[in-house]
Amino acid sequence: MYAVSNEPGETFEMCQGADRQTLSGYCRRRSFAFQCKCAWYCSKECQKANWRFHKLTCPEVERSSGVAKLIGSLGMNPLLMAFIRIGVIFDCGLLDNPQRLGFDMPFMARVDFAIEPSEILDFSGLYLNDRPVGEKLQGMIQVNALTTWDPTKQGPLTPEQLRLWREARAKYNTNGFAIDLVGLIEFVNCADDNSFISELFIPTVVVNMAREHEPLNANVAACLQCVNLNIRADKQNQLLLRTEMTEQDKEIICSASRNEETFPSRILKEKMKREPLYTNILN
C-alpha cells in the first residue's frame, strides 16, 4: 500500500513489507524491487524479508513503472481533483455536516480506478470480442467508482490512517485553514487492488461550488463522468494519465462482458450503464 500527499515534495510510500493493519510509519527512502519496480521498501533488509511474499506476484506485474506516477499526476491536476472533491462532498454528506466530519473526526473516500483503452473502438473490441485489438494498447486512467468509508461496515480506520489525518488537520489549522475540510482519500487500482492513501484538503470555496450546483442535479456520477471525459479528451497526453495497458487491465473489461461477479467487473458495468459513451456497446 502506498500513500501520496496532495502537495509537491510530500510523497510518502507505505512500506510493502509492513502489515497493512499494524503499519508503524512511512518509508522516507525508496528502493524498487528489481523485477517489477512497483514494490517499494524502506531498506534492503525489509525488501529481503518480504521477498518470499512478493515473488509470488512479481512476475505478473507488467507495468514496470507502476501507477503511482499516474495517481500523482491525477492528484496534482486542479480541474480533475475539483470534480473529485465535489463528488466526495456529495457522497460523504459534507454539505449538511452535523458530525463535523473533516474537523472533529475524519472522513475517507475511496476512488476505484482502472486503465481503459484510450480509443473506444478498442474498448468495444475487448468487451464484445467482435474485432481484433492490438497486443499493445494505449490506456488511460478512468474512475469507475467513488464511495465513502463506512466504519459500521468496513471497520474503523487504522491507527496509521488516523495519525495521517490528525497530522494533516493540525497542519492546515496551523497554516490558517481551520475553516476548511480535511479528510483522507484512497485511490484503489482495480487491476491489482493496490491502494494509494492521501490527505484530502477541501477548501470552503469548493464546498460552496457543490452547494450551488446541487439544485442543478449535480451528483457523484456527474462528477466522475466529467473526470473521465476530460481524461479521454486529452489526446496528446498533456495530463500524463496515459500508459500501456496490461493483461490485467484488459481482463477486467473481458470479465465484465462475461458478467462475472467480481468487484472490478461489477463497478465497470455500473459505470458503463451511467455514461452515455457506452450505450451502443451495451445494446
Inside any domain, residue 6: no
Do residue 24 and residue 124 come from a single domain? no
Domain that holds residue 261: 66-282
Q: Given this model, what pLDDT does residue 52 score? A: 63
Q: Given this model, what pLDDT does residue 42 score? A: 64
Eight-state DSSP code of residue 151: H
Do residue 249 and residue 112 come from a single domain? yes
Inside any domain, residue 207: yes
Do residue 223 and residue 157 come from a single domain? yes
Q: Given this model, what pLDDT does residue 78 score? A: 94
Q: Is beta strand 181-189 parallel, antiparallel or unpaired with respect to 242-244?
A: unpaired
Inside any domain, residue 139: yes
Do residue 117 and residue 139 come from a single domain? yes
Do residue 26 and residue 140 come from a single domain? no
Do residue 50 and residue 180 come from a single domain? no
pLDDT along the chain (283 residues), means of 10: 38 46 36 46 70 55 64 93 97 93 96 97 93 87 96 90 97 97 95 88 96 84 97 95 94 95 96 96 92
Number of Cβ within a 10 Å radius of residue 209: 16
Please give the distance of CA 239 from its chain centroid, rounded to a whole number.
16
Inside any domain, residue 249: yes
Do residue 49 and residue 147 come from a single domain? no
Do residue 114 and residue 20 come from a single domain? no
Say if pTM beats, i.e. exceeds, 0.95: no
Inside any domain, residue 98: yes
Distance CA 118, CA 115 (A): 9
Torsion angle defined by CA atoms of residues 112, 153, 275 and 192, in that order, rounded to the nearest 10 degrees: 30
Q: Given this model, what pLDDT does residue 24 score? A: 34
